[in-house]
Amino acid sequence: MYLIENYTRLPVRFVRGEGVYLYDDKGKRYLDFISGIAVCSLGHADPDLVEAVCDQAKKLLHVSNLFENPWQEELAEELVREFWTEGRVFFCNSGTEANETAIKIARKFWRDRGEDRYRIITFRNGFHGRTYGSLSATAQERFQDGFQPMLEGFDYAVLNDMESVKEVFTDKTGAVMLEVIQGEGGVNECEPGFLKSLQEFCREKGLLLIVDEVQTGIGRTGYFYGYQGYGIEPDIITLAKGLGGGVPVGAVVVRKDLAKVLTPGTHGSTFGGNPLACRASLTVVRKVRKLLPRVREVGEYFRKRLEELGAGRVKGRGLMIGLDTGTNCREVVLKALERGLVINCTAGKVLRFLPPLIVEKEHVDQAIEILKEIL
């Protein structure tokens, strides 16, 4: 009634969750295979996460970035520990903010060197967020329509096509930004060979390689960071979604020598990395690390069972899986919901599965039974 109707909402009211299950206001139970779009990595009401959040709420919710913040320091150390080289971290509150930060760092990196290399190459069907920098980086008309003019300086290439990258490269290009698996774009995987060539190209031309790990990061693909599964070494990665397990938090991890681009006063966030968010995220990060072998195993099993269904092409890695049905899949989502399975349809025809990282094979079996009935 009083809400702006910018979302197409499904007719269900979830009021409670436990593990991989959600419950609506009538007490009906649902198997959650979307996790708030890759957010609730530990499932719902994880006792350790609940404990951390409640404990911190009793002590101190927020402290300004005018002051020291030991929770940020502790979390940053955990995030850098998983990075391929020495790194530094900036905290914000969402994926789009993390990407804005990455874009600002890339631009200022070159400005500081007195070079006019402000342009960034991004990829068709990518998704980087809704604020102007991130939206301009998002090479999809359906998100940009009506909001032009976009921010200057983005050139769009085609995923898995090195020639298209070389075509849009100019002497003003300073960075390349991409997802190793495009999430919103339809669970489109980068070919390992393409990423290797892209990394080589970046090194040859001195370009910064930015990997948007907002969806692929923090265990989703079976690796702590999605890029680790491809053997590349990005200069900057951006994180959000699963990082807080449901508490809003975003982060940017950069190679140590890039950290000096953001000198005091050049960038900031009021809420970014507040104690509540950091305590939640610390719990998530430490628990996800132990879940990685299981994410791979259950992910493989899920893929195999989906392939057996024979209802389309199966895509993705770990617990970031798509089923390209070839036709509009909105009906399937509604029917699944009726039968107590929460899934999502992206890019029009790709059923997307993003279960909590704690999901087990028996839950996969339950989901497959429901999908079998519908497809």
Site for ligand PLP in 227-266 (CB under 6 A): 240-241
275 binds ligand PLP (CB under 6 A): no
179 binds ligand PLP (CB under 6 A): yes
- Estimate to the nearest angstrom the gap between the alpha carbon of 21 and the chain centroid: 22
The span of 53-61, 94-102, 290-298, 332-340 binding ligand PLP (CB under 6 A) equals: 94-102
Residue closer to ligand PLP, measured from CB, 249 or 370: 249
Contact letters (x/-) for ligand PLP, 125-154, by CB under 6 A?
Answer: --xxx-------------------------
Closest approach of ligand PLP to the CB of residue 250, in Å? 7
Rg (CA), the chain: 20
Residue closer to ligand PLP by CB (options 69, 216) is: 216
Q: Measured from the CB atom, is 128 or 287 closer to ligand PLP?
A: 128
Spatial CA neighbour of 17 closest among 56, 43, 47: 43
- State how far the alpha carbon of 194 is from the alpha carbons of 111, 158, 190, in Å: 29, 11, 7
Residue from the set 35, 56, 72, 94 that interacts with ligand PLP by CB under 6 A = 94
Instruction: State the greatest distance between any 2 C-alpha atoms of the chain, in Å, as a whole number.
Output: 62
Neighbours of 94 (CB within 10 A): 21
The residues that bridge with 255 in the sheet, in sequence order, are 87
Per-residue contact flags (x/-) with ligand PLP for residues 95 to 114, judged by CB under 6 A: xx--x---------------
CA 41 – CA 39 distance, rounded (Å): 6
Query: Which tokens belong to 67?
Result: 């002051």
Task: State yes or no: residue 217 binds ligand PLP (CB under 6 A).
Answer: no
Name the token pair of 336: 């699944």
Element (H, E) at 122: strand 119-123
Count the alpha carbons within 13 Å of 304 in the hemisphere toward its beta carbon. Answer: 8
Tokens of 152: 């200057």
Binding residue (CB under 6 A) for ligand PLP from 56, 72, 122, 215 = 215
CB of 187 to ligand PLP, least distance (A): 11
Residue list 3-32, contact with ligand PLP (CB under 6 A)? none
Residues that bind ligand PLP (CB under 6 A): 94-96, 99, 127-129, 179, 183-184, 212, 214-215, 240-241
